[in-house]
Amino acid sequence: MSKFEKSEWAEDKHAKEFMENADIYILERKRLFEILKSFYTHFLGEKANQRPIKVLDLGCGDGALTRELLKKDPKIKATLIDGSAEMLNNARKQLESYEGFIFIQKTFQELLEDESKGNDIIADEFDFVISSLAIHHLHTKEKEDLFGYIHEHLNSGGFFLNIETVKAPTDELESWYRVLWGEWIQKNQINMGVQESFEYLPEQYKNNPDNHPDTLNIQLNALKSVGFQQVDCYYKYGIFAIFGGEKYG
Ligand SMILES: C[S@@+](CC[C@H](N)C(=O)[O-])C[C@H]1O[C@@H](n2cnc3c(N)ncnc32)[C@H](O)[C@@H]1O
């Protein structure tokens, strides 16, 4: 079983570094956010006219995804979960003006363990479960279990959207995707006028024992196997992908 406590995310300094620099090195981060918002408007916009949409942000970090959704719909009610106290405190600070938001410091492993013991702390059902760059820290079976957990916590007609790094189907493609990522970082650093270089990151990502990305196919199949419909990859650029599905009935 993967252990959050032993991962770099349990260290405050790693969390801080991500919050400060993610816009520089997360490939097309702005576009990923734009696609998330387009998805929300298209699939949940009508529902949002009738009542506040309930959102669950898994591995929320400092709440970046929830804050993006708030730009589209300031009436959402969000529950944010992260294993890192540092990250969650930042999310709390950034979102303090919104009433009724819930912040929970739990790892995904703890969520699954609690549920298996009948102590599920999330009594709610959600309309939209979102996650970004967090679930690839789980092993394959844990991912599938978490997808099942997400499915159970969605209302009928609710959606799951996951922004994630995925493993390429071949080593050759994986190497090229890392080159692509490095090229993008290089260009983005110039555009943003950044002095510090993050071009080492794609290689570091590959060698990091905390990362357990699975291929897109494995994850799309896992989503289908726990009952999701409309499962697809909605966007992909190298190893960065957006995929998810809908809960029917
Ligand atoms: C790369 S950051 C992404 C944060 C945010 N979603 C974003 O896109 O800005 C990954 C986040 O996932 C959290 N995380 C990683 N593994 C986790 C686990 N097993 N359980 C809960 N949170 C986890 C980390 O603490 C961190 O906040």
Q: What is the spatial distance between Cα 223 and Cα 221, in angstroms, rounded to a whole number?
A: 5
Is residue 1 pLDDT above 80, yes or no?
Answer: no
Bridge-based pairing of strands 77-82 and 102-105 is: parallel
CA of 59 to the centre of ligand 1 (A): 4
Token duo for residue 126? 């959600």
Q: What is the mean pLDDT of the chain?
A: 96
pLDDT for res 121: 87
Question: What mean pLDDT do residues 64-93 have?
Answer: 97
pLDDT for res 124: 81
pLDDT for res 219: 98
pLDDT for res 6: 86
In 3-state terms the chain splits into helix, strand, coil percentages (rounded to 5) of: 50, 20, 30
Calculate helix-pair angle for 12-25, 171-192, nearest 10 degrees.
Answer: 80
* 184 C-beta closer than 6 A to ligand 1: no
* 132 C-beta closer than 6 A to ligand 1: yes
38, 174, 178, 214 from 169: Cα distances, Å: 28, 8, 13, 9
* 57 C-beta closer than 6 A to ligand 1: no
* 18 C-beta closer than 6 A to ligand 1: yes
CA of 50 to the centre of ligand 1 (A): 31
Q: Number of C-alpha atoms within 13 angstroms, CB side, residue 18?
A: 21
- On whether the CB atoms of residues 213 and 167 are closer than 8 A, the answer is yes
pLDDT for res 223: 98
10, 89, 142, 197, 243 from 240: Cα distances, Å: 23, 27, 20, 20, 10
* 162 C-beta closer than 6 A to ligand 1: no
Q: What is the spatial distance between Cα 226 and Cα 246, in angstroms, rounded to a whole number?
A: 11
Q: Where are the alpha helices (DSSP H) in 73-121?
A: 85-94, 108-116
Q: What is the spatial distance between Cα 105 and Cα 87, in angstroms, rounded to a whole number?
A: 9
Q: What is the spatial distance between Cα 177 and Cα 237, in angstroms, rounded to a whole number?
A: 8
**Residue for token digits 């969520």?**
111
- Ligand 1 nearest-atom number relative to CA 84: 25
In the chain, the percentage of residues whose pLDDT exceeds 70 is: 100
Q: What are phi and psi of 48, to 5 degrees?
A: -65, -20
Counting beta carbons within 10 angstroms of the beta carbon of residue 240, is it exposed (0 to 12), middle (13 to 18) or buried (19 or more)? buried
* 188 C-beta closer than 6 A to ligand 1: no
Please report, as a single letter, which amino acid is at residue 99. Answer: E
pLDDT digits (tens, 9 = 90+) for 14-58: 999 999 999 999 999 999 999 999 999 999 999 999 999 999 999
Task: Return the bridge partners of 160, or none.
Answer: 129, 245
pLDDT digits (tens, 9 = 90+) for 204-230: 999 999 999 999 999 999 999 999 999
For domain 4-169+212-246, which architecture applies? Answer: 3-Layer(aba) Sandwich (3.40)
pLDDT digits (tens, 9 = 90+) for 237-249: 999 999 999 999 8
pLDDT for res 3: 86
